[in-house]
């Protein structure tokens, strides 16, 4: 085994920020006063195209106006091709740090083993199906792509929020994407997989069954990009200094836990605030509540490759944590929003083929194809010199023999652009000095278009996923698939998919078949073996109970209890939640004791019609007689309460607010006083109602407990 080493480069976390600063222009900070062209010519008239005129009548616009031509021409070419998948996205800068050197038993990659390093990162989150302008909260997989700007070059983990994929072999990717994207004859639907072609494809492609279960589960509608897991999905390899190789899967676990919207909420937010996730990420970072993820690895020694009943190179399978535990070795914090969307989020370009010494690939057939596809697609999106764009360029020195090509920026001195050369420039770097070293893998066999035998089994893990869900999650899954299949008009499509479901669980398949008019299984098509796994298959609570970044709406009308609201807001702010005062108008709302139109009042952030309960994690109704009476006579505020209640949100009420809350909800079995009892409503001594058992509820209730304290 040849000696290998990671080049030791000391970098600070701000190295990428400083690098990008070279290209940042701030119109407000510049000493340049006035507007000039891209070529530096001051413009004396920004509004009128040069024309022929006799002083009274204005003649035609003159083509000779080079200033107008330049402006229009630049505008004509402002758009670049959107990504063929994952077109809709947003991003942020961050930093990664390894906890210690515990991963050095697996890898000599400095980024994963040197705790003194702070490696700058850039993350782009995305949906898959929709175009650039589609809504954020659609049911879809979310992309979670991370670029690490390491001292040894860029390393990209181009992952998703779901640990498996629809297909096993990259050659099927164009078919899969054609099937899920809007249909070719009418470009329908947008931001949805609820159509004939998608369900037709997955119905004929049973290897998709496991992934379909994940994406139709609550995982497909995350509450926030900050509350999603990330998975590298494919099997990579790690190599240590002794030359031993391990198979590895990469994991991101969010500090805030994994939480989802409910489907009705997600649907409504698509219309109410299509930028919900994008704004949520920005809001968290700008308020200093930096999103954090623990970074974990699942590792399998090379010798154990064949010891599992699934193929560890099959991207439609997880490695159950019970068999291969996750070891958490570092963490990432996102701490800076972008300065400009296009030059950062649009132009960032990821490649699965970009790894650093100590990290390598496996024979995972999906990964092998991806390693070709990403570099290739960047050429059509951005051109061959895309790696020179500020967001993409590495922070370590670059000295290759690549030259020229459209839009080359770097000016490389000297007459040498090849190796070997008489001057000795651009020499290769041996592995013991940091050069990339491929593992000496033995390869033998017959060339054939085949997959391994274990790749042929498609339902065990889909069943394990189903079995591992909580009862309400199973119900959501049935509803989601029923929704989607109901949007397929062709009976061939929904009938064949209901047949696929019978391979997973009889009762589950039956419910959906009945709902959508599919094929109701009349015999136990396949026995449910009852296997379960805790593997990331249900919602995760936060690592520590927190109300951090939760959005809480306080509904008020004139006559509310002002002192109470001030105290509530202060307590919630201390817990890093954000409160919004919602009133009958966006203007001053007057607390009890202040005459309307006089006194200080409190500014409402929105009026009742301006927002909806869906955009908040919890509602609070303070006390105040007059205010409670006004709320009770307003149909929209009653709707706020009923909708939030239906979405299992935490609703807190105090004093007269409790009566309003009770009258607005009026549901049998809902207890509004006393302590935790039967049913799904819990009322604390000061009138906090908590409903539901997962998601926002626990976190926001905690906030109200703080207030109570």
Give me the residues that bind ligand HDE (CB under 6 A), please.
Answer: 83-86, 89, 124, 126, 143, 145, 158-160, 165, 170, 173, 233-234, 315, 349-350, 366, 369-370, 373-374, 377
Query: Mapping DSSP to helix (H, G, I), strand (E, B) and coil, where does residue 191 land?
Result: coil
Strands (E), 10-112: 51-53, 58-61, 89-98
Q: Which is nearer to ligand HDE, 199 or 236 (CB)?
A: 236
CB of 204 to ligand HDE, least distance (A): 18
Q: Which is nearer to ligand HDE, 84 or 576 (CB)?
A: 84
Question: Where is 377: in which H helix or E strand?
Answer: helix 365-382
| Cis status of the peptide bond prior to 632, with omega within 30 of 0 | no
Contact call for residues 378 and 122 (beta carbons, < 8 A): no
Contact call for residues 557 and 589 (beta carbons, < 8 A): yes
DSSP 220: G
Q: Assign residue 91 a region (left: φ > 0; alpha: ψ between -120 and 50; beta: otherwise).
A: beta
For the chain, how long is the longest CA-to-CA vector?
Answer: 90
CB of 532 to ligand HDE, least distance (A): 24
| Cis status of the peptide bond prior to 512, with omega within 30 of 0 | no
CB of 377 to ligand HDE, least distance (A): 4
- As given in the structure block, the two tokens for residue 70 are 């330049």
> Binding site residues, as ranges?
374
CB of 177 to ligand HDE, least distance (A): 8
**Residue of 93, 154, 160, 371 marked catalytic:** 160
CB of 248 to ligand HDE, least distance (A): 14
Q: Which is nearer to ligand HDE, 104 or 126 (CB)?
A: 126
CB of 145 to ligand HDE, least distance (A): 4
Q: State the Cα–Cα distance between residues 161 and 11, nearest whole angstrom.
A: 29
Q: State the Cα–Cα distance between residues 245 and 239, nearest whole angstrom.
A: 5
Q: Assign residue 217 a region (left: φ > 0; alpha: ψ between -120 and 50; beta: otherwise).
A: beta
DSSP 36: B
Instruction: Measure CA 391 to chain center.
Output: 19
Helix locations, 115-240, DSSP H: 173-180, 196-203, 209-216
Q: State the Cα–Cα distance between residues 98 and 111, nearest whole angstrom.
A: 7
Q: State the Cα–Cα distance between residues 99 and 642, nearest whole angstrom.
A: 46
Q: State the Cα–Cα distance between residues 365 and 168, nearest whole angstrom.
A: 7
CB of 124 to ligand HDE, least distance (A): 4
DSSP 670: -
**Residue position matching structure tokens 């505008």:** 75
CB of 374 to ligand HDE, least distance (A): 4
Q: Which is nearer to ligand HDE, 442 or 449 (CB)?
A: 449
**Residue of 36, 48, 57, 86 marked catalytic:** 86
**Residue position matching structure tokens 């090849």:** 418
Q: Which residues contact 13 (CB under 8 A, 6 or more apart)?
A: 95, 118, 119, 120
What is the DSSP code string of 436-501? -------------S---GGGG--SHHHHHHHHHS-HHHHHHHHHHHHHHHHT---HHHHHHHHHHH
Helix locations, 528-634, DSSP H: 562-574, 625-632
Active-site residue, 195 included:
no
**Residue position matching structure tokens 């369900």:** 199
Residues in a beta bridge with 143: 126, 160
Contact call for residues 98 and 113 (beta carbons, < 8 A): yes
Active-site residue, 503 included:
no
Q: State the Cα–Cα distance between residues 254 and 220, nearest whole angstrom.
A: 16
Strands (E), 351-450: 359-360
Q: At what angle do helices 506-516 and 491-501 cross, to 10 degrees?
A: 160
Q: State the Cα–Cα distance between residues 468 and 455, nearest whole angstrom.
A: 22
CB of 143 to ligand HDE, least distance (A): 3
| Nearest residue to the partner ligand HDE, using Cβ | 143
**Residue position matching structure tokens 């994406």:** 215
Neighbours of 18 (CB within 10 A): 11
CB of 229 to ligand HDE, least distance (A): 12
> Binding site residues for heme, as ranges?
374
Q: Which is nearer to ligand HDE, 95 or 145 (CB)?
A: 145
Report, as residue numbers or ranges, the catalytic residues: 86, 160
């Amino acid at each position: 085994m040849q000696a290998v080493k990671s080049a030791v480069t000391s970098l600070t976390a701000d190295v990428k920020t400083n690098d990008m600063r070279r290209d940042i222009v701030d119109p407000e900070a510049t000493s340049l006063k006035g507007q000039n062209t891209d070529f530096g010519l001051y413009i004396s008239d920004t509004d009128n195209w040069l024309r022929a005129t006799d002083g009274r009548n204005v003649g035609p616009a003159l083509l000779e106006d080079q200033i107008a031509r330049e402006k229009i021409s630049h505008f004509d070419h402002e758009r670049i091709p959107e990504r063929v998948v994952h077109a809709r996205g947003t991003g942020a800068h961050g930093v990664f740090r390894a906890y210690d050197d515990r991963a050095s038993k697996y890898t000599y990659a400095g980024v994963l083993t040197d705790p003194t390093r702070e490696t700058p990162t850039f993350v782009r989150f995305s949906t898959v199906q929709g175009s650039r302008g589609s809504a954020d909260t659609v049911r879809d997989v979310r992309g979670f792509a991370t670029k690490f700007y390491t001292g040894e070059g860029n390393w990209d983990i181009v992952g998703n929020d779901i640990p498996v994929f629809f297909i096993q072999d990259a050659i099927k990717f164009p078919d899969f994407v054609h099937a899920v994207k809007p249909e070719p004859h009418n470009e329908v639907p947008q931001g949805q997989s609820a159509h004939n072609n998608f369900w037709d494809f997955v119905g004929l492609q049973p290897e998709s069954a496991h992934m379909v279960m994940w994406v139709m589960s609550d995982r497909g509608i995350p509450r926030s990009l900050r509350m999603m897991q990330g998975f590298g999905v494919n099997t990579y390899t790690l190599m240590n200094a002794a030359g031993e190789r391990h198979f590895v899967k990469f994991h991101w676990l969010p500090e805030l836990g994994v939480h989802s919207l409910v489907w009705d909420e997600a649907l409504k937010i698509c219309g109410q605030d299509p930028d919900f996730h994008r704004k949520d990420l920005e809001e968290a970072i700008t308020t200093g509540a930096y999103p954090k993820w623990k970074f974990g690895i699942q590792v399998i020694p090379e010798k154990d490759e064949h010891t599992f009943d699934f193929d560890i190179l099959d991207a439609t399978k997880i490695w159950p944590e019970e068999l291969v535990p996750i070891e958490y070795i570092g963490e990432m914090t996102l701490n800076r929003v972008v300065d400009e969307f296009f030059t950062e989020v649009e132009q960032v370009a990821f490649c699965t083929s970009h790894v650093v010494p100590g990290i390598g690939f496996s024979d995972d057939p999906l990964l092998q194809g991806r390693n070709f596809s990403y570099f290739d697609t960047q050429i059509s999106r951005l051109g061959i010199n895309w790696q020179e764009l500020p967001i993409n360029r590495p922070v370590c020195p670059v000295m290759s023999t690549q030259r020229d090509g459209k839009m080359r920026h770097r000016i490389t001195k000297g007459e040498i652009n090849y190796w070997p050369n008489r001057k000795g420039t651009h020499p290769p770097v041996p592995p013991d000095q940091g050069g990339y070293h491929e593992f000496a893998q033995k390869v033998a066999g017959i060339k054939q278009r085949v997959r391994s035998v274990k790749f042929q089994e498609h339902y065990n893990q889909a069943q394990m996923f189903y079995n591992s869900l909580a009862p309400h999650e199973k119900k959501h899954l049935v509803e989601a698939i029923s929704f989607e299949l109901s949007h397929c008009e062709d009976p061939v499509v929904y009938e064949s998919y209901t047949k696929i479901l019978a391979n997973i669980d009889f009762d589950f398949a039956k419910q959906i078949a009945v709902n959508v008019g599919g094929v109701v299984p009349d015999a136990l098509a396949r026995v449910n073996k009852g296997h379960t796994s805790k593997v990331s298959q249900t919602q995760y609570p936060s690592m520590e109970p927190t109300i951090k970044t939760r959005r809480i709406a306080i509904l008020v009308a004139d006559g509310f209890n002002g002192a109470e609201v001030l105290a509530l807001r202060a307590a919630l702010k201390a817990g890093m939640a954000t409160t919004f005062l919602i009133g009958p108008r966006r203007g001053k709302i007057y607390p009890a004791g202040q005459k309307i139109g006089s006194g200080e009042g409190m500014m409402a952030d929105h009026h009742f019609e301006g927002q909806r309960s869906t955009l908040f994690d919890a509602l609070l109704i303070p006390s105040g007689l007059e205010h409670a009476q006004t709320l009770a006579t307003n149909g929209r505020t009653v709707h706020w309460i009923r909708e939030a209640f239906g979405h299992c949100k935490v609703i807190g009420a105090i004093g007269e607010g409790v009566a309003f809350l009770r009258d607005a909800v009026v549901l049998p079995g809902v207890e509004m006083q006393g302590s935790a009892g039967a049913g799904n409503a819990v009322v604390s001594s000061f009138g906090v109602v908590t409903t539901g058992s997962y998601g926002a509820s626990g976190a926001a209730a905690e906030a109200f407990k703080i207030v109570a304290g």
